[in-house]
Amino acid sequence: MIETKTPHLQGPRIRVEVAEASGFKHIAVKRLTPVIGAEIGGISLADGLDEAQLREVAQAFAEFQVIFFRDQMLDPEQHLSFGRLFGDLHIHPAAPHAPGQPALMVIRADENSPRANGEVWHSDVSCDQHPPLGSILNIKVCPTYGGDTLFASMYAAYDALSDRMKTYLDGLRAIHDGEHVYRGTYANLGVADKPSYPRAEHPVVRRHPVTGRPALFVNRGFTRHIVGLPSDEGDAVLRYLFEHIENPLFQCRFRWQPHSVAFWDNRCVQHRALWDYWPQTRSGFRVTVSGDRPIEYFQ
Ligand code: SIN
């Protein structure tokens, strides 16, 4: 359970609830910001986790929404095994994977790439009926500088909305579509398009199944429109929410080193990868954990 203290970060209209770190005995935890992100030390993911460590890693994941590990020399099987500790593995509907390993998604941009993964704020594959619970990215090769990833707390984004806006969003649902995101996207890597890509309707505000907290669940990458609103009104609301979500007060920024791992909770976090390192190479693998159908949050 997350305890919250009186909000103490104030912008003109922004109030950010601050999560209180609980005592950890079996892992080392260093918070990155008051609202999101923590670096976890004192464990080797390759060696596997004992029960106490796993419990605390799950607790840190729930509290900090994205957790980071350094110097983890994971082979594919160890990476997949770490993912399976949190649920079944998700197979990406479009992206390339390692040979013979459909759950091991390839993340790579180099001098020949026309694009890099995740350059727009998004929650992974939110167009699925059951969007992924979380994603575990292990970057093995880094540029000498650049290639950071930004993460934003959708709890903080929701909490900072005005009471009027929270009431307006109550019960609204939105369409998330993969078609415009995935069609043709991986052609340069020899991946043939599928006849269709996932599309789903989800609540605009979801209740996190573990913490019970409300989180905004619309994103620039996949969310196309709000159901039942005139399109000009729905578009204006989405534009407002997309800008609101990107406030740096809700974010942390992770600087990768070779063999760093990030594990983010797609149910309450959006992320954006910065492709500022061309023509250098950044590459690694992502294991994605399957999730549930998002549940509506009502105030
Ligand atoms: C992604 O999974 O969206 C890519 C994130 C990254 O490369 O940092």
Residue range 138-156, pLDDT digits in tens: 999 999 999 999 999 999 9
Kindly state if the Cβ of 139 falls inside 6 Å of ligand 1: no
> Is there a catalytic annotation at residue 124?
yes
* Atom 4 in ligand 1: residue holding the nearest Cα: 118
User: Catalytic one among 124, 128, 177, 265?
Assistant: 124
The 10s digit of each residue's pLDDT in 189-203 is: 889 999 999 999 999
The 10s digit of each residue's pLDDT in 167-192 is: 999 999 999 999 999 999 999 888 99
| Token pair of 67 as six digits | 């957790």
Please check the confidence at residue 14 and state whether its pLDDT lies above 90: no
Ligand 1 centroid, distance to 247 Cα (angstroms): 19
Please check the confidence at residue 11 and state whether its pLDDT lies above 90: no
Please identify which residue in the block is written with the tokens 């601050």: 18
Mean pLDDT of 94-100: 96
Inter-CA distances, 214 with 124, 136, 204, 260, 299, Å: 18, 23, 10, 29, 9
**Which has the closest alpha carbon to 125: 69, 65, 70, 202?**
202
Kindly state if the Cβ of 138 falls inside 6 Å of ligand 1: no
* Atom 1 in ligand 1: residue holding the nearest Cα: 118
Please check the confidence at residue 288 and state whether its pLDDT lies above 60: yes
How high is the pLDDT of residue 247? 98
> Is there a catalytic annotation at residue 176?
no
Ligand 1 centroid, distance to 273 Cα (angstroms): 5
Phi-psi region of 201 (alpha: psi -120 to 50; beta: other; left: phi over 0): beta
Please check the confidence at residue 222 and state whether its pLDDT lies above 50: yes
* Atom 7 in ligand 1: residue holding the nearest Cα: 273
Split at pLDDT 50, 70, 90, the class of 21 is low
Kindly state if the Cβ of 273 falls inside 6 Å of ligand 1: yes
* Atom 2 in ligand 1: residue holding the nearest Cα: 118
Q: What are phi and psi of 94, to 5 degrees?
A: -140, -35
* Atom 3 in ligand 1: residue holding the nearest Cα: 118
Which atom in ligand 1 lies closest to the alpha carbon of residue 124?
3
Please check the confidence at residue 62 and state whether its pLDDT lies above 90: yes
> Is there a catalytic annotation at residue 225?
no
Pick from 92, 125, 141, 149 the residue to mutate for probing ligand 1's pocket: most ligand atoms within 8 Å of its CB: 149
Ligand 1 centroid, distance to 253 Cα (angstroms): 13
Mean pLDDT of 251-273: 98
Kindly state if the Cβ of 286 falls inside 6 Å of ligand 1: yes
C-alpha span between 180 and 191 (Å, rounded): 16
**Which has the closest alpha carbon to 77: 109, 42, 47, 39?**
47
Buried b (16+ CB within 10 A) or exposed e, 248-261: ebbbbebebeebbb
pTM over 0.85: yes
> Is there a catalytic annotation at residue 271?
yes
DSSP 8-state code for residue 195: S
How high is the pLDDT of residue 167? 98
Mean pLDDT of 16-39: 83
